[in-house]
Structure 1
């Protein structure tokens, strides 16, 4: 069994731990032609710039807002859908709905972004519908800073809530039917059974998923944002990952971009440790 793990360990060492040597440029005024060995050492200056530059600070704020709303909505909606779906008695309809809502999870963000651009563009399907039915002017969903965040959150929910719903649905399926029978004998309605039997039984899984989501609070989804955003919505849509991409790879500020990425990784690492401790204390969840 350990021998079978060797290819995965080699892959992680090469592609995950090997590149960490390059983190040293976060403390340098890195110049590609000088390399890491000869670039000027500037200590924590790059990290200080994170809070001095308005764009970097705004990217951190945008990341927190988008990520927190995604986490909240991404927990509530799957729970509600799992409970509603579990109430269906027609197995065929139940499995059909389950497949339909789960399918978008397997689509890449490049594909989803292409679909959204076609639908939400100025000459897209939604604007045509609004113009024909209500006579409204075209709405620039992906170019309006005020509409970009809701668009991002709703599209992320559409793509991913099916996966979360499957986890909660499996939890509901594992509930002992005798609990519902006892509640029904006591005169509990379906709503009361959901409130007093289904939700309390799901609570440990809800706590685990919610607390583990804290580790991704600074990860608002690079693939999604990168494929949907544009300079018009930088004020509300630019996140840490996209800012690092522009600052380092496009603008040549390699040291500063690495510092921003390292700052994000450090905070995320701390949050992951905290979330695992909370999950262990509250729900007795542990990996090892």
Structure 2
């Protein structure tokens, strides 16, 4: 008589059989699609060389890097740079400014492309729709230097268009460029003007995939445009919105260096200084390479944590997430 298999032995034997059968299939697919995988090689090399290999540079955050000693001979200091950073009186100012700007972006900018895409989707004249799309895409391709220059032209107290208008009707001017209170609204308005139009592309693509028969059935049942929007359009693009929101969470501590740096000055620094500009100031202007690397690593770890946390929450609420 055959002996009964030990508990778990049958499952292990089945898994071994599946792996044995799968391996030749994988090799066969690789051989069959070898030219496709060959086309994939340049992309893989790009990520390996420019994304993964430079990750060894994070070791700089744990060393007291001295250029004349080199990377490997510089002294190992462990978490010393992180201790200095977290006990720095400016840490909470940087954290506050960065989080407030990110919150403004989530509240005011993130919904803007969605709303604009929904409005564009309601246009029935294709010619007019293409003209509008072209006009709202253009700001995305304008350099941030030009955007900052236009902001100065409009808001400066010395002949600025808006201040001249305010002076004419109120007799007073507002120093938008030097005021800490106006810095964050100014940055958000720049972002909305520059990126909202281009951000509609993804949502318009998602809206193009909505089944037209659902709208026809809704019209038959007497649903008006608002009901169709709420019960058909928004649920159809909900997964796209959630995925983009999850990815957006990874940039909570990344407000964009160039835009902030161009609008930063000593008078509005209290509200304008963020982690990105601080890394530049400490790493490039003051030569504290190890310290600035530690700050950058802190940002990266927080970003990854937020993405994973947002993805976990999305799955808990029944959404697909990013993986």
TM norm. shorter chain > 0.5? yes
Q: Is the 8 A contact 1:145 1:236 kept in 2?
A: yes
1:98 equivalenced with 2:133 (yes/no): yes
In the alignment, which of 286, 292, 305 is matched to residue 251 of structure 1?
286
Kindly indicate whether structure 1 or structure 2 has the higher relative contact order, using CA contacts under 8 Å at least 6 residues apart: 1
In the alignment, which of 173, 198, 210 is matched to residue 233 of structure 2?
198
Q: Is the 8 A contact 2:85 2:91 kept in 1?
A: yes
Q: Following TM superposition, by how much is the alpha carbon of 1:124 offset from its aligned partner in structure 2, in angstroms?
A: 2.0
Counterpart for residue 161 of structure 1: 196
Higher alpha-carbon deviation: 274-283 or 26-35: 274-283
Q: Against the structure 1 CA distance between its residues 176 and 11, is the aligned structure 2 distance closer, same or farther, given a 3 Å change threshold?
A: closer
Structure 1 unaligned spans of 5+: none
3-state DSSP class of the match of 2:87? coil
Q: Distance in 2 between matches of 1:99 and 1:258?
A: 40
3-state DSSP class of the match of 1:231? coil
3-state DSSP class of the match of 1:40? strand
Counterpart for residue 184 of structure 1: 219
In the alignment, which of 290, 300, 307 is matched to residue 265 of structure 1?
300
3-state DSSP class of the match of 1:38? strand
Q: Following TM superposition, by how much is the alpha carbon of 1:224 offset from its aligned partner in structure 2, in angstroms?
A: 1.1
RMSD: 2.1
Question: 1:1-288 alignment to 2 at 5 Å?
Answer: 1-122=36-157, 123-137=159-173, 139-278=174-313, 282-286=318-322
Which aligned runs of 4 or more in structure 1 are off by greater than 4 angstroms? 276-281
Q: Distance in 2 between matches of 1:205 and 1:22?
A: 34
User: What is the CA deviation profile of residues 205-256 of structure 1, one whole-angstrom value per residue up to 9, with x for unaligned ones?
Assistant: 2122112211111111112111221222221111111101101111122221
TM-score norm. by structure 2 comes to: 0.81
3-state DSSP class of the match of 2:175? coil
Higher alpha-carbon deviation: 28-37 or 140-149: 28-37
Q: Following TM superposition, by how much is the alpha carbon of 1:21 offset from its aligned partner in structure 2, in angstroms?
A: 2.8
Aligned length: 286
Q: Following TM superposition, by how much is the alpha carbon of 1:285 offset from its aligned partner in structure 2, in angstroms?
A: 4.7
Q: Is the 8 A contact 2:242 2:321 kept in 1?
A: no
Higher alpha-carbon deviation: 58-67 or 254-263: 58-67
Q: Following TM superposition, by how much is the alpha carbon of 1:156 offset from its aligned partner in structure 2, in angstroms?
A: 0.8
Q: Following TM superposition, by how much is the alpha carbon of 1:195 offset from its aligned partner in structure 2, in angstroms?
A: 1.6
Q: Distance in 2 between matches of 1:225 and 1:110?
A: 11
Q: Against the structure 1 CA distance between its residues 5 and 114, is the aligned structure 2 distance closer, same or farther, given a 3 Å change threshold?
A: farther
Structure 2 unaligned spans of 5+: 1-35
Q: Distance in 2 between matches of 1:159 and 1:20?
A: 32
Q: Following TM superposition, by how much is the alpha carbon of 1:146 offset from its aligned partner in structure 2, in angstroms?
A: 0.6
